[in-house]
């Protein structure tokens, strides 16, 4: 089996909702989890998580929550 074009790989992965065919051109050695950061290991179809084939960097959970309103403001 020869090389499959990247756009076909992406179309198949999008169709099936996960990365059934791995794109070997992604750097794997440099993409490692960093200590002290939180990563999404699992998630819904289409979300950035390790189980869906995303990189550690893509699956990093950003804390963009707003501070909770105090009881006095309610």
At residue 59, the pLDDT reads 92
Q: Please identify which residue in the block is written with the tokens 């790989």.
A: 9
Indicate the domain borders of the chain. Answer: 25-64
- Identify the residue with better confidence: 9 or 72: 9
Q: What's the rounded Cα separation, in Å, for the pair 59 and 53? A: 9
- Identify the residue with better confidence: 19 or 73: 19
At residue 2, the pLDDT reads 46
Helix (H) or strand (E) holding 7: helix 6-16
Full-model pTM: 0.49
Q: What's the rounded Cα separation, in Å, for the pair 34 and 14? A: 28
C-beta of residue 61 within 8 angstroms of C-beta of residue 39:
yes
pLDDT in tens, 1-46: 345 567 777 787 787 777 666 656 555 566 788 999 999 999 998 8
């Amino acid at each position: 089996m020869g090389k499959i074009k990247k756009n076909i790989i992406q179309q198949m992965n999008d169709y099936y909702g996960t990365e059934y065919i791995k794109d070997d051109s992604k750097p794997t050695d440099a993409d490692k989890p960093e200590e002290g950061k939180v990563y999404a290991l699992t998630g819904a179809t289409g979300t950035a998580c390790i189980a869906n084939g995303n990189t550690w960097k893509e699956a990093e959970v950003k804390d963009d929550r707003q501070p909770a309103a105090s009881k006095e403001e309610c």
